[in-house]
Structure 1
Amino acid sequence: MRNIRAIILLLSALCAGHAFGQLIRGSFERPLPASHVLLYGTTGSDHPVLDSVPIRPNGSFEFPRGSFAPGFYQLGINGDDRIDLVLDPSDPVVEVAFHGTPLQRNLNVLRSGDNQRMWAYKLVSRAGQDELQAIRDQRAAASPLDTVVLHRLDRHEAMVRARMSHALDSLSSIAPDGQFARAVRLDRQLDAVARSGPAAIRGVFDYSDPWSLRSNAYAKATVMYLQGIKFDNEYAYHRACDTLLSEAAADTSCWRYMRHQLVDIFSTYGPDEVAQYLVDQYVIGPGALLPPDPDLVRIAAVQLRLALGSPAPDTLLTVPGEQYTTRLSAIWPRQDYTGLFFYSSTCDHCHAQMPGLRELVSEEDPRHFKLIGIALDATTEEFMATIAEEGINWPCYSALIGWGEPAAKAFNVKATPTLYVLDRQGRIVAKPMDHQELRAFLESAGN
């Protein structure tokens, strides 16, 4: 009976503690630097606002008690003036004091062991980084022949780095199960396999773990994975994105962020065709586990314009050496499907596709399918030579301005060869990778 009563009391205490939640509070010295203080979450490299409370006239602030998922957060004022914060149920109260701005250089952690340890290391790290910068400046000013000075600077640099590493080891070992120690371990595991390739990175990092999403490790692990990809063929990044999204799929929040991060990376830095693949497959296509949020729609605006099911851009097509021009919209209503083959006469991969395309065109009923070529060529001579040498049996067009070709710009072509398929209504219905995929699409569409 006594044991049952003890268990009931323990469960009651745990439930009460969970309902009571964590308390985040602090104070600012006068004059007050802002009217409100904000609490930010962490989702990879993003920091959405979770809550905002006013700073009282006496400088104090306090967030309502809440049950926060363990991980990394931020407190901030005036937009970009922020500090990192660790939240964990083992720390029922997190209390900080600010003695001025910027907040990072005027912080005192009054309560919360994990935050005290994290900020103790940040202090050591900041001093170490200042020393390392001074060493770099001295090395840049030194003569390359002054080996005595250079060796002394090397020893000094090694000593500073060892001191920083020792501080990190010591502080994280105090509470090895804390959030700070966990983040340190994960970061070191990633650094240890950084040069070992994508498979090794997957071996130490769980892309479906929501905890890692609440740290800076998630974005780092994704970028490291992509940097380790060997570009052995033009679809290497496609496969890498497929793998990363598959690895994240067990958790909805992780998959949503992974999709957003990948689209953002490839929309910003390229290759653009990878961003287009992600949109076609995972934003509006069969791999989309979730609908896109407004921010993702904004980022992927260019790709969505050319997504499967979207109306194709109309564009003017020119026949070199003739006065004849036509609009693409005058061609697509005449058959069930119209293929657009963007190529260049100097592109070996384009020439490799031409025999298969030539065979396909000769087999297809012209009422069912028509292929047109759009050459990103610069001269009539190279344009006509390719048609003759390859025995091209489909109409070809070119404005003879290379990558300035209006049709290529309209379809956001970033590499050749590129294939699009339009239906009779001018909608984009397929983007085959090669003539085999084009054949497979037409065979399935004919059934």
Structure 2
Amino acid sequence: MIMQLKKLFYSAIISAGILGCAFAGKGYQIDVQVAGVSDTTSFLAYHFGNRQYILDTVNVDSEGRFRFAGDERLDPGMYMVVLPGQKFFEIIVDHNQHFSVSAVMDNFVETMKFENSPDNEAFYNYMRFISTMNELGGPVRAELQDPGTTEERKAELRNLLSEIDTQVKAKQEEIIEAFPDGLFGRILLAQREPPMPEAPLREDGTPDNEFMYQTYKQNFWHFMDFADDRLLRTPIFHSKLNHFFTRVIIQIPDSIIAEADRIVEKARAHPEVFKYVVFFITNTFERSQIMGMDAVFVHMVENYYMTGEVDWVTPDQLERIAERAMALKPLLIGNIAPEIIMFTPDRKPLSLHDVEARFTLLYFWDSECSHCKRQTPKLKEFYQRLNPKGVEIFAANTEADRQKWLDYVNNNNLTWIHVNDPTNQSGFRDKYDIWATPLLFLLDEDKRIIAKRITVEQAEEIILREMQN
């Protein structure tokens, strides 16, 4: 359970409108009584993705009684009744939205009772069952981890854990069968691991792990109903989506893009699910700290935002998203670095693409930038080590004051290629998306981008690895 209640602040551009709701209907009334709390306030909050939002605030009377009610039905999902001290319990709001609940403060799970809500009764009975199973399994796991446990005893302990697991699965199956269309049944179903075959053997007799990985990836969403938007208002859908894109898929842009398109197609089963999946993938990889993942962001914008399929952002917002993607597109890993012609200390034009070197380190810098002052001395040592091996530095100074640039170069005896373009005639700032310095791009001999926004140490590591290939 997530303890903090924070209003989700999505990117104002990408996510505008993502939380649009479609309430309609017959109203709701949830009567609550909590022993041990009085004369205070309570909040009704709901899950959406990996965040929670406050929906309503009510007063709690002297006997711990309060009511959440409204003329329009709530969107089905998992809700939270929040009490003082950030203490809360969760309830399922589904087809039936008129019920009552009672509990004792600080002992919610054990004391929770419901009237007119069989799905919530099943929910809390299951939590109590899981608590019992954990009490049984805890000592078994601890003994299994004990270095002094014999192999024979470990086998017995694993059998015990297997029996506990079998009981848990049986309980889940019982609930799924009892509530086939209920939200709690769908939650339990969505949490299941995908069905897997026995691992086939390779010619050398070893298990074919690649086959098993591809099968797992293909079947990962087997139990998820993309047509059921109720799952968006539980922690389950986001958690599974995040796990798939950050832990299951190999973190290579092409692999992620292929899976992104596949999952988006599944998400078309419901417009709200489609909206959330497209937003999640776009936002996740636009913000990713892994080099090269901006290719996923560009792909999503080109194929879903710029094609008109995203209708939850304004025209102005869409234009800004598209501009951002198009600014990044020329700088994607594997592309030829944009050509820039800047000026040497003797005012002669010099083309980046005319530099002949096995590797070129394109270095945007400023003599007064504090971070540049830390990187430049490292770059000097880097150059002394790697220039004899075919590495050149194309140092593009970003200052308007030409004399400051020249003084720094001369005073520090920097001997690589130096260029400057004080009036930005080359358009280098836009071409290379420069909003801070230092900024380093590593290019191969054809001026293709190998790496970007890296440190001097990372550049050297990549070059040495490439030289060994």
Question: 158, 183, 192: which is aligned to 1:179?
Answer: 183
Question: Partner amino acid for 2:257?
Answer: H
The alpha-carbon distance between structure 1 residues 115 and 376, as it changes in their structure 2 partners (threshold 3 A), is farther
Q: Which residue identity lines up with residue 132 of structure 2 in the other structure?
A: A
Residue of structure 2 equivalent to 1:201: 220
Q: What's the counterpart of residue 151 of structure 1?
A: 155
TM-score (norm 1): 0.60
Corresponding residue number in structure 2 for 1:418: 449
Distance in 1 separating the partners of 2:273 and 2:380 = 41
CA contact (8 A) 1:44 1:215 kept: yes
1:372-404 Cα distance to aligned partner (Å, 9 max, x none): xxx99922463465379xxxxxx933899xxxx
Task: Indicate whether 1:48 and 2:67 are aligned.
Answer: no
Mapped partners of 2:300, 2:353: distance in 1? 20
Structure 2 Cα separation of the partners of residues 163 and 199 of structure 1: 28
SS in 1 for 2:56: strand
How far apart in 2 are the matches of 1:325 and 1:130? Answer: 78
SS state of the match for residue 74, structure 2? coil
| 8 Å CA contact 2:256, 2:296 repeated in 1 | no
Instruction: Give the distance between the partners of 1:150 and 1:167, measured in 2 at CA.
Output: 26
- Identical-pair percentage: 12
Deviation at 1:127, TM superposition (A): 2.0
Distance 2:137 2:356 in 1: 51
Distance 1:131 1:341 in 2: 71
User: Given the superposition, is the C-alpha separation of residues 207 and 282 from structure 1 closer, same or farther in structure 2, using an over 3 Å criterion?
Assistant: farther
Give, in angstroms, the shift of residue 267 of structure 1. 5.9
- Name the count of aligned residue pairs: 341
Is 2:82 aligned against 1:76? yes
- Indicate which of 75, 81, 92 corresponds to 1:86: 92
- Tell me which amino acid in the other structure corresponds to 1:396: F
Q: CA deviation at 1:343?
A: 13
Q: Secondary structure at the match of 2:180?
A: coil
Amino acid at match of 2:260: C
Corresponding residue number in structure 2 for 1:240: 259
Using CA pairs under 8 Å that are at least 6 residues apart, name the structure with larger relative contact order, 1 or 2.
Answer: 2
User: How far apart are residue 306 of structure 1 and its match?
Assistant: 6.4
Q: Runs in 1 of length 4+ with deviation above 6 angstroms?
A: 303-306, 338-344, 411-416
1:211-250 paired onto structure 2 within 5 Å? 211-226=230-245, 227-230=247-250, 234-249=253-268
Q: 1:281 to 1:180 in 2, by over 3 A?
A: closer
Deviations 1:348-392 (A, max 9, x none): xx9xxxxxxxxxxxxxxxxxxxxxxxx99922463465379xxxx
Q: CA deviation at 1:128?
A: 1.4
Q: Distance in 2 between matches of 1:202 and 1:171?
A: 20
Shift of 1:250: 5.8
What is the CA–CA distance in structure 2 between the aligned matches of 1:342 and 1:62, rounded to whole Å?
Answer: 74
TM-score (normalizing by structure 2): 0.57
Q: 1:411 to 1:253 in 2, by over 3 A?
A: farther
Q: 1:28 aligns with which of 31, 34, 37?
A: 34
Report the Cα distance in structure 1 between the residues aligned to 2:87 and 2:441, rounded to whole angstroms.
40
CA contact under 8 A between 2:103 and 2:113: conserved in structure 1?
Answer: yes
Q: What is aligned with 2:195?
A: 192
Matches within 5 A, 1:15-414: 19-32=25-38, 35-65=40-70, 66-78=72-84, 80-89=86-95, 91-101=96-106, 103-104=108-109, 106-144=111-149, 146-188=150-192, 190-192=193-195, 196-202=215-221, 204-207=223-226, 209-226=228-245, 227-230=247-250, 234-249=253-268, 251-263=270-282, 265-266=284-285, 270-275=289-294, 277-278=296-297, 281-282=300-301, 286=306, 289-290=310-311, 308=326, 324=345, 378-380=382-384, 382-383=386-387, 385-386=389-390, 396-397=394-395, 410=437
Q: Gaps spanning 5+ residues in structure 1: where?
A: 1-17, 351-374, 389-394, 401-406, 421-447
TM-aligned CA distance change 1:173 to 1:208, over 3 Å = closer
